[in-house]
A and B are shown apart, each in its own frame.
Chain A
Amino acid sequence: MAVGDILSTHRAALGFMALGAALAISAGAVFQSMRQPEPIVAGPGVTRQSMLGDLAPSLAGGPGDTPVFELVGAEPGPTVMILGGTHPQEIAGMMAAVLLVENVTVKKGRLIVVPQANRSGFTHTDPMEAYLHTFEVPTPGGTRWFRVGMRLTNPADQWPDPDIFVHKPSGEGMVGHEQRNLNRVHPGSATGWLTSRVSAALTGLAGQSDVVFDLHEAQPEYPVINMMVVHERAFETAATAVGNLEARRIPMGLSASPKNLHGLSHREFGDFTKAEAMLAESANPAMGRFRGRTSDDLVVGGHDANYEAAARLGRLFVKFDQNGWPLKLRVARHVAAIEEVINAYNELNPDKQIVVENIPAYKDINDKGLGAFLKPPPATKS
């Protein structure tokens, strides 16, 4: 059949194929653009910047590879590891970690910061949730941008999910998609699925640490909110930190890590390493079921009229008024919690001190905003 005959008899088919190709290319370009990492600028205190793949070669250069910042003091001391972005839509955890990387210096001891623990989760958003892909923070030197991701590893990177995910080594059964939830697969396996391999690498870092602090957020209608959840070996440190936070009029609850709830950082890092493992939750209305449109004003400003109404009806576990729960307040709470955990550790271990300086102050973050503590955006490629 001549080319001319094919064109005339299959004109419609060729047109639909061209349409399919155009749709696939344009949609694919959007999805591929979501894999571009946002810049995180190493501050003056960062002594070593590496990738998680340096510890776990099977992750190197892949979707689970993520930056690891080390801040090592001139004098030896204990190691504290901070995890942000375990759940990438819980952006206050990631931003608190970024503020540490860009501002603090360590005089004694060692700080390990992983701002985007589940890097793959930052490359997609929750289907049907109409989340923003990114949000912006103005700084004196220009506007910085950051990603809003999703709780689970990108299914393009790890799929298919099983019907039932069986956590190893506990044998606990969970819904299948939890196999892509970094905070359900700890301590992970070096020969497992992507999320499990990321977990195994982080467990390796936790094994080098004395304290591991995993930063999270939850919806205001969730009971475990503005709270620290801690392994039994970390209770004394965490209780001292919570007392100090309360004395500073930063309300913070304290909850024991359930021994039969497996896969979570506060349980497995505590059970499988020598580290004191703990986790903190702040209130993020952009994650909740009651929220209205997921706009910049909600994600960054933390305002939502529906949540104000829900608070009036007594449906929430936090106060919610016209001031909302802005990102800067949630980040300030996380940073203050980190500061007090370090203070508490030093108080309880006078022979093992970690000295961290230039931690952004709670009041300053709230008064000046996040942008005051972020470096200018790095020059972009033209």
Chain B
Amino acid sequence: MKGPPMELGVMYAYRLLALAVAAMMLVVIWRARNWRDQLFATLVFVPFVLRGLGIK
């Protein structure tokens, strides 16, 4: 078989969504005006960026 199977498209769509969540967390960190929101957004950012990049 040549080329990636169709199912890979689902996985890459999922990774793009994870990267979108990570990007949104950066926006939250930038716009938030209290440190708690910024900390929580940071903690959400880490696993989502790792999953979005296919590392974890």
Q: Which of B2-36 contact A (CB under 8 A)?
A: 2-7, 10-11, 14, 25-26, 29-30, 32, 35
Tell me the nearest residue of chain B to A193, going by C-beta. B7
Q: Is A159 an interface residue (CB 8 A)?
A: yes
Inter-chain contacts of A251 with B (CB < 8 A): none
Alpha-carbon separation in the docked complex, A32 to B4 (Å) = 23
Residue pair A27, B42 in contact (C-beta under 8 Å): no
Q: Is A261 an interface residue (CB 8 A)?
A: no
Residue pair B7, A192 in contact (C-beta under 8 Å): yes
Inter-chain contacts of B38 with A (CB < 8 A): 12-13, 16
Alpha-carbon separation in the docked complex, A190 to B7 (Å) = 11
Interface string of A10-23 (1 = CB under 8 A from B): 10110011011001
**From A23, A160, A197, contact of B14 by CB (8 A):** A160
A203 to chain B, nearest CB (A): 14
Number of B residues with CB within 8 Å of any CB on chain A: 29
The number of chain A residues touching the other chain, given as a range, is: 20 to 34
Inter-chain contacts of A58 with B (CB < 8 A): 1, 3-5
Residue pair A156, B56 in contact (C-beta under 8 Å): yes
Q: Is A323 an interface residue (CB 8 A)?
A: no
Q: Is A28 an interface residue (CB 8 A)?
A: yes
**From B2, B5, B26, B39, contact of A197 by CB (8 A):** B5
Residue pair B56, A191 in contact (C-beta under 8 Å): no
Residue pair A156, B54 in contact (C-beta under 8 Å): yes
Alpha-carbon separation in the docked complex, A175 to B38 (Å) = 37
Alpha-carbon separation in the docked complex, A157 to B14 (Å) = 12
Q: Is A222 an interface residue (CB 8 A)?
A: no
B34 to chain A, nearest CB (A): 9
B9 to chain A, nearest CB (A): 11
Inter-chain contacts of A19 with B (CB < 8 A): 42
Tell me the nearest residue of chain B to A157, going by C-beta. B54
**From B4, B35, B39, B55, contact of A31 by CB (8 A):** B55
Q: Is A24 an interface residue (CB 8 A)?
A: yes
Inter-chain contacts of A10 with B (CB < 8 A): 30
A58-B1, A158-B11, A160-B14 known; A23-B55 Cβ under 8 A: no
Residue pair B30, A13 in contact (C-beta under 8 Å): yes
Alpha-carbon separation in the docked complex, A108 to B6 (Å) = 43
**From B2, B4, B32, B49, contact of A24 by CB (8 A):** B49
Tell me the nearest residue of chain B to A23, going by C-beta. B46
B19 to chain A, nearest CB (A): 12
Inter-chain contacts of B10 with A (CB < 8 A): 160
Give me the interface of A with B, judged by CB distance under 8 Å. Answer: 10, 12-13, 16-17, 19-20, 23-24, 27-28, 31-32, 56-58, 124, 156-160, 190-193, 197
16 new A-B pairs (CB below 8 Å) besides A16-B35, A193-B5, A193-B7? A12-B35, A16-B29, A17-B42, A20-B29, A20-B49, A24-B45, A24-B50, A28-B55, A31-B50, A56-B1, A156-B51, A156-B56, A157-B54, A160-B14, A191-B5, A192-B7
10 closest Cβ pairs, A-B complex: A20-B42, A16-B38, A20-B45, A31-B56, A191-B5, A28-B55, A23-B46, A16-B42, A193-B7, A16-B29
Residue pairs across A and B with Cβ atoms less than 8 A apart, 6 shown, are A20-B26, A24-B45, A28-B55, A156-B54, A158-B11, A193-B5
